Structure 1
């Protein structure tokens, strides 16, 4: 944490953000914007609202689903944990830090390991540009969607500059490093909306992935008998364009309105009543003792073990003709 940041106040994060210069301090600003008001619940919820948007294309969903549902079926919570560990490393350390660059390079190597099995699937430059633009505007759009204030002008500049610097760290198959990031925050919004509104046919593989991700969140955080409500939390706040491609019906407007109201109230109350944490969640995880890390890993493995048969039954994958065809 920079020496200039005063953490003595109860709500110090917003004050710190507004005290910084987004042209110079955008990495620190993004760290403050993304890493301090988070939790396992919010990270998992954000993942459920984010990742399905990236696999609406046939080439995107094919790599994730593979032949048997891949990690979203067989080790679903482990996949959430791995994804969020990468994300939090990027968000906290920023694109100029070697730890962030090393984490991105591991993703590049992971993608490269699939090139022979799925040639051309990682060669679409617009996929990378969309993920970066979407990431820059995610929380701004979500907050507006539920009726809260969006990013300030300073936050918009910081978000844009952070992801402008992140995009060129990723390698696009056969094309070198990624490029094509919009010129400003409003350009990110337009780029994302244009990408999301492109005409696309129904993608059955994307539907299965989306349902697996929504149900994972519900399975982890909602008790039996109320897991349907957990799924509705996801579908009520998911992009209509993504739901349309996946062929997942939008919730009843009254139910969706109630969920939006509940999420807005929960976030608003937490922001005005709870003190800002002094440390980011990633630092808490990094400094956790060996026993704590072992227990966390065991809890995630138990969730994976219990969820796999649950979601297979939920999606009708046991003896399902479509599943057999995929295999």
Structure 2
């Protein structure tokens, strides 16, 4: 009886946490797109994506040249439409993570960003000229979550995920281009250690402070606080986000870091939140992108079998582990065929 109960609990736990099991079955040198998708596209919610945005984005305008197109004379979306700026960034990245680095939808999405960069490069050519700016951003996307986990006391991503991250973001680096010169990007590191070293070197470069840094950083934290918390909690939210920033951001924007005990407590709280999301909460069966698409679909019309067949295969709202989805499509197709053969 005890053995049967243990077996049941084990099977139930594996069903609840299928993502880690699937990652362990994959080869990171070949299946990097799927590993990156499994690690990044399922668990995030709007809240988590906005939290990551609030922690991440201030890294990208420490230099005045990088801040100029974002600030855009005070009219940039980072100030004028902070919610839209956050959502646009999060949703675009989730498209890349959902479809993978080699999918046409990802390439089309990145191409739209290339064109936006080229538009702003006409006004701020020096801001888009330096190759290292692009490489740093891509390196941060590859390893930023790992660094945050280490900062709050967690062990970071697995070795398999590190290898997959290198391959995935090396592919992504080939899709972006220098908006000033039109040249391909060069120098993306070929190891995870190289990615970490590149970021450390870039961030250690001494650069002068600029007048746009503090307003932009505050606007990013404020939109997160406004969106999810009562105004009475906003001072605590600011302390929380600032406690997650590294020293060079604190100095660049003249931010007031909370006391050591407060920082320790807030980082521990963050660690518990991230750990529980991975180890206690059941793994979602749909990606962030799928959930967002489903939420935007009209619910008043029930599709017929024929209308379902007219939809593209990728538009069918299927759940579960990605490697089982083809079987689900075949099963769905068989059900529709049976329905057509036996009309009511």
The 2-side partners of 1:267 and 1:129 are apart by 27
Higher Cα Rg: structure 1 or 2?
A: 2
Contact 1:217 1:231 in 2 (8 A): no
How far 1:271 sits from its partner (Å)? Answer: 2.5
CA apart distance, 1:288? 2.7
The Cα shift of 1:289 comes to 3.6
| Mapped pair 1:123 → 2:147 | no
- On the 8 A contact 1:104/1:169 being kept in 2, the answer is yes
Q: Of residues 266, 271, 279 in structure 2, which corresponds to 1:264?
A: 271
Whole-Å separation in 2 of the counterparts to 1:252 and 1:69? 34
Deviation at 1:143, TM superposition (A): 1.1
Q: How far 1:61 sits from its partner (Å)?
A: 0.6
Equivalent position to 1:148, from 139, 147, 154 = 154
Q: Which one of the candidate residues 97, 113, 128 is aligned to 2:119? A: 113
1:278 corresponds to 2:285: yes
Maintained 8 Å contact 1:240/1:250: no
1:56 Cα offset (Å): 0.7
2:135, 2:185 within 8 Å by CA — same for their partners in 1? yes
2:183 counterpart (176, 179, 182) = 176
In structure 2, how many angstroms separate the alpha carbons of the residues matched to 1:22 and 1:214?
A: 35
Q: Distance in 2 between matches of 1:33 and 1:209?
A: 30
Query: How far has the Cα of 1:50 moved from its partner?
Result: 0.8
- For these two proteins, the number of residue pairs brought into alignment is 286
Alignment of 1:216-255 (within 5 A): 216-255=223-262
Q: State the partner residue of 2:172.
A: 166
Which of 163, 173, 176 aligns to 1:157? It is: 163
Does 1:94 pair with 2:94?
no
User: Larger RCO: Structure 1 or Structure 2 (Cα < 8 Å, ≥ 6 residues apart)?
Assistant: 1
Structure 1 stretches of at least 4 aligned residues deviating more than 4 Å after TM superposition = none
- Taking structure 1 as the reference length, the TM-score comes to 0.84
**SS at the partner of 1:248?**
coil
Does 1:185 find its partner at 2:213?
A: no
User: Which of 58, 71, 74 pairs up with 2:64?
Assistant: 58
- Superposed CA deviations along residues 277-299 of structure 1, whole A, max 9, x for unmatched, are 0011111112334458xxxxxxx
Q: Is the 8 A contact 2:64 2:209 kept in 1?
A: no
Pairwise CA RMSD: 1.5
Question: Which position in structure 2 is the counterpart of 1:287?
Answer: 294
**Equivalent-residue separation in structure 1 for 2:279 and 2:291 (angstroms):** 23
Q: TM-score, normalised by structure 2?
A: 0.80
Any unmatched runs of 5+ in structure 2?
1-12, 300-344
Contact 2:58 2:249 in 1 (8 A): yes
Distance 2:149 2:42 in 1: 16
